[in-house]
Amino acid sequence: MICYLNFEFMRQVYLDNAATTAVDREVFEAMRPYFLKNFGNASEVHGWGQEARTAVEGAREKVAEALGAEAKEIIFTSCATESINLAHKGVVEAVLQQGETRDVRRKTKRPHIVTTAIEHKAVLETCRHLEEAGMAEVTYLPVDQYGLVSVGAVEKAIRPETVLVSVMYVNNEVGTVEPIAEIGRMLKKTKGIFFHTDATQAMQYLDCDVDKLGVDLLSFTGHKFYAPKGVGGLYVRTGAPLVRQMDGGGQEGGLRAGTENVPYIVALAKALELSSKFKVQSSKVMNLRDELIAGVLKIPGAKLTGHSVKRAPHIASFTIDGVEGEAVLLMLADRGIAAASGSACTSGALRASHVLLAMGVPAEVAHGSLRLSLGKETTEEEIEYVLKELPPIVKRLRQMAPRL
Ligand code: PLP
């Protein structure tokens, strides 16, 4: 109870926008009628159904416009994880179905995927699944100390049986922006290789025009840009082969069965429309991020992780020597500050972030990782508050640490 009251009256600073964002009020208002009044099933022919269909197709047009795509190239899903599964498994299965002609069915010539060691688990686990099922071979490319993958390394990894290259646009832990457009240009010279990007952390702030990026598939999820959790999408370029992973009705052009989540689809499109306007002002978030970075780096033993310039506007990430990230999070939470750490607590033991390890950060240093991710509502006062609270927390934790 006391804890609850504390939470209510304590200053609250939300710096975990890379994990999820609040639903924007305008977005909430846009979707509200589709719960209460216009609740029809978009597959039905009556008035309610047709109203729902009009809303879904209107949303599809808006999403397509934001991506520079055609409406028929957008598939609505439940989240980025689903989109990523559909993209990877869908392309590999489609290629395997054409096995006779492409000669990839023989063990020595399984379809080959090129991806990176720093992808989100949604990509890594999907690739592992395809490998374990004997459906694909996967190359996990290393990255440099800033989390950047090299275009040359992608090119070198390509084999005659490569069918998919999958590189994330923005890394969710360190904020590094990958050279997607450059990889896209390089892949233009190849034939039969489809290019997927996980744009989950990019949608709110970066240009996601699919032609400028040169991608064939692009995954995203609404709750990272002020739409609700439980709705996402996949862009699939016309002509890219894809086998659906959800069997059932013929919704979403036959590529994703299941009754469309009309209110959330409306919300997703509205949020994307708002983010297009906000992108113009994203320098406000970037300036606050830089102020935060400069302030945190004054703490002795604090280091920036990720690239200093090729970095998404909303992500500030660090390692702090001599402290556990989880302990910092708990003490920040005690002061009303929401943050994240790359290390995950599994069965009582701390596991260092696979992203930091891939960047060459030693495991003991990686345990001290901290991610502060800003949002469009973040204020100067909030950054000042965090910069006041964080140094004494680090000092206290270092004093408490056993000396070996
Ligand atoms: N990809 C990236 C880069 C992410 O940051 C996330 C979520 O944190 C995901 C994929 C998965 O998103 P969702 O949980 O909405 O499927």
Report the chain (404 residues): mean pLDDT per 10 consecutive residues. 54 96 98 96 97 98 98 98 98 89 57 98 98 98 98 98 98 98 97 97 96 98 98 98 98 98 98 87 93 98 98 98 96 97 62 95 96 97 98 96 62
Average pLDDT, the chain: 93
Of 243, 309, 339, nearest in space to 15 by CA:
339
pLDDT of residue 392: 98
Cα(221) to centroid of ligand 1, in Å?
7
SS percent in the chain: helix, strand, coil, step 5: 45, 15, 40
Of 347, 348, 369, nearest in space to 357 by CA:
369
CB 230 within 8 A of CB 78: yes
Residue nearest to atom 7 of ligand 1 (CA): 19
Cα(127) to centroid of ligand 1, in Å?
15
> Which DSSP string do the residues of 271-295 spell out, in sequence order?
HHHHHHHHHTTTHHHHHHHHHHHHH
Q: Pick from 221, 315, 317, 355 the residue to mutate for probing ligand 1's pocket: most ligand atoms within 8 Å of its CB.
A: 221
Q: Pick from 17, 20, 120, 231 the residue to mutate for probing ligand 1's pocket: most ligand atoms within 8 Å of its CB.
A: 120
Q: Is 345 annotated in the active site?
A: yes
Of 196, 185, 243, nearest in space to 220 by CA:
196
Cα(7) to centroid of ligand 1, in Å?
27
- Outline where DSSP puts E strands in 9-154: 13-14, 74-77, 112-116, 137-141
Cα(175) to centroid of ligand 1, in Å?
13
- Outline where DSSP puts E strands in 321-379: 337-338, 344-346, 349-351, 369-373
Q: What ligand 1 atom has the least distance to the C-alpha of 80?
A: 16
Cα(223) to centroid of ligand 1, in Å?
9
Q: What ligand 1 atom has the least distance to the C-alpha of 81?
A: 16
pLDDT in tens, 250-301: 999 999 999 999 999 999 999 999 998 877 678 999 999 999 999 999 999 9
| H or E element in which residue 96 lies | helix 80-97
Residues of 270-283 as b/e, b for ≥16 C-beta within 10 angstroms? bbbbbbbebbeebe
Q: Report the predicted TM-score, pTM, of the whole model to 2 decimal places.
A: 0.95
Q: Which residues surround ligand 1 with Cβ inside 6 Å?
A: 79-81, 120, 122, 168, 172, 198, 200-201, 221, 223
Q: What ligand 1 atom has the least distance to the C-alpha of 20?
A: 8
Q: Can you tell me the distance from the alpha carbon of 98 to that of 393, in angstroms, rounded to the nearest whole number?
A: 58
- Outline where DSSP puts E strands in 122-184: 137-141, 162-166
Cα(22) to centroid of ligand 1, in Å?
15
Cα(29) to centroid of ligand 1, in Å?
25
DSSP 150: P
Residue nearest to atom 6 of ligand 1 (CA): 200
Reduced to 3 states, what is the DSSP secondary structure of residue 326? helix
pLDDT of residue 120: 98
Write down all domains in the chain, each with its CATH number in brackets.
13-22+280-400 (3.90.1150.10), 25-277 (3.40.640.10)
Q: What ligand 1 atom has the least distance to the C-alpha of 168?
A: 3
Choosing from 3, 127, 208, 345, the catalytic residue is 345
Cα(118) to centroid of ligand 1, in Å?
13
Residue nearest to atom 12 of ligand 1 (CA): 80
pLDDT of residue 103: 53
Q: Pick from 81, 219, 315 the residue to mutate for probing ligand 1's pocket: most ligand atoms within 8 Å of its CB.
A: 81
pLDDT of residue 342: 75
pLDDT of residue 256: 98
283: Cα within 13 Å, side-chain hemisphere: 2
Q: What ligand 1 atom has the least distance to the C-alpha of 171?
A: 3
